């Protein structure tokens, strides 16, 4: 696939996101689009955002839990980039009309305190983490009905659209067992998804180390000050205007989102 085509496809996913339009998956017309091309498209689409004034402030892992893999039919972990425009705080609004068909999912966020450069083990990766908090991620695939293959979702920046960070930030060493914290995500007071951080790639630290190792191949690192989402612990839920979503994570308190 030549550079002009990769550039064009970066424009296609970026325009769809900006114009809140769903589009058919890229591999329908470009069956030769592979995993490596897809990350090139993702980086090119991020460059377009940066050129418009957005700032990359972190990264996310996706498809690190069995529940998520089954839900979308893609069985391999992927990563995406997070920008300042995507970030919100506890209790903030999610403006439904800004998005196509948003889904929400329970996450854990790592706040990176020291430059994290792979190759690393999970323990080495955790040594670079200064804080952990609960997070709700809103994903909004640009593809019709969330129907995509692995290269499509990678090119589409892993469906990233918004994320909400909890206000309780704990240094990882004070947590009793980061690898098995209970997770309950409720919508309008009803528990919709119940799980454990154990579902995140068996341990969220493994997800973080895997991310550092994947990007090390591109000679990239997670700089101090960046945010990392470890991947959803459960399947995602569609949201609708008027919904109040709350995530509670053991030892990390709650994070809330109002859909308006
Ligand atoms: C892809 C994004 C997956 C996660 O946490 O597993 C993801 C999607 O489900 O559209 O963010
Ligand atoms: Mg996610």
Q: What is the pTM of this model?
A: 0.98
Mean pLDDT of the region 192-215: 98
- Give residue 32's pLDDT: 96
* pLDDT for position 33: 97
Q: What is the pLDDT of residue 215?
A: 98
Ligand 1 pocket, mutate which of 101, 139, 145, 237 (most atoms under 8 A from CB): 139
How many A from CA of 137 to the centre of ligand 2?
A: 6
Ligand 1 centroid – CA 113 distance (Å): 25
Ion ligand 2 — residues with CB < 5 Å: 137, 232
pLDDT, position 248: 98
Q: Give per-residue pLDDT as tens, 125-154.
A: 999 999 999 999 999 999 999 999 999 999
Tell me the torsion sign for CA atoms 172, 177, 180, 181: negative
139 CA → ligand 1 middle, Å: 7
94-121 residue pLDDT tens:
999 999 999 999 999 999 999 999 999 9
Asked if 204 and 170 touch (Cβ cutoff 8 Å), the reply is no
Atom of ligand 1 nearest to the CA of 229: 5
Q: Which structure tokens are listed for 258?
A: 């109002």
pLDDT tens sequence across 1-26? 999 999 999 999 999 999 999 999 99
Q: What is the mean pLDDT of residues 35-56?
A: 98
Residues with CB under 6 A from ligand 1: 62-63, 68, 72, 105, 137, 139, 141, 146, 153, 158-159, 231-232
Question: pLDDT tens across 68-92, in order?
Answer: 999 999 999 999 999 999 999 999 9
Atom of ligand 1 at shortest range from CA of 65: 6
Average pLDDT for the chain = 98
The ligand 1 atom nearest the CA atom of 64:
6
């Amino acid at each position: 696939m030549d550079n002009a085509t990769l550039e064009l496809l970066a424009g296609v996913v970026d325009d769809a996101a900006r114009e809140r339009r769903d589009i058919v998956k890229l591999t329908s017309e470009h069956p030769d689009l592979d995993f490596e091309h897809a990350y090139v498209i993702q980086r090119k689409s991020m460059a377009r955002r940066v050129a418009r004034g957005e700032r990359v402030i972190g990264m996310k892992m996706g498809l690190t839990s069995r529940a998520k893999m089954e839900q979308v039919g893609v069985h391999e972990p992927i990563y995406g980039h997070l920008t300042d425009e995507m970030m919100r705080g506890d209790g903030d609004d999610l403006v439904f009309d800004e998005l196509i068909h948003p889904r929400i999912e329970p996450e854990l966020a790592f706040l990176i305190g020291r430059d994290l450069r792979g190759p690393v083990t999970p323990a080495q990766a955790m040594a670079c983490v200064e804080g952990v908090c609960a997070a709700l991620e809103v994903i909004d695939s640009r593809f019709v009905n969330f129907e995509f293959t692995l290269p499509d979702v990678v090119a589409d920046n892993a469906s990233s659209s918004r994320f909400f960070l909890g206000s309780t930030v704990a240094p990882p060493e004070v947590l009793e067992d980061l690898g098995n914290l209970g997770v309950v995500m409720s919508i309008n007071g009803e528990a919709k998804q119940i799980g454990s951080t154990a579902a995140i790639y068996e341990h969220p630290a493994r997800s973080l180390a895997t991310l550092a190792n994947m990007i090390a191949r591109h000679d990239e690192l997670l700089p101090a000050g960046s945010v990392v989402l470890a991947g959803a612990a459960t399947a995602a839920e569609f949201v609708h205007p008027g919904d109040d979503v709350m995530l509670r994570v053991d030892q990390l308190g709650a994070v809330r989102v109002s859909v308006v």
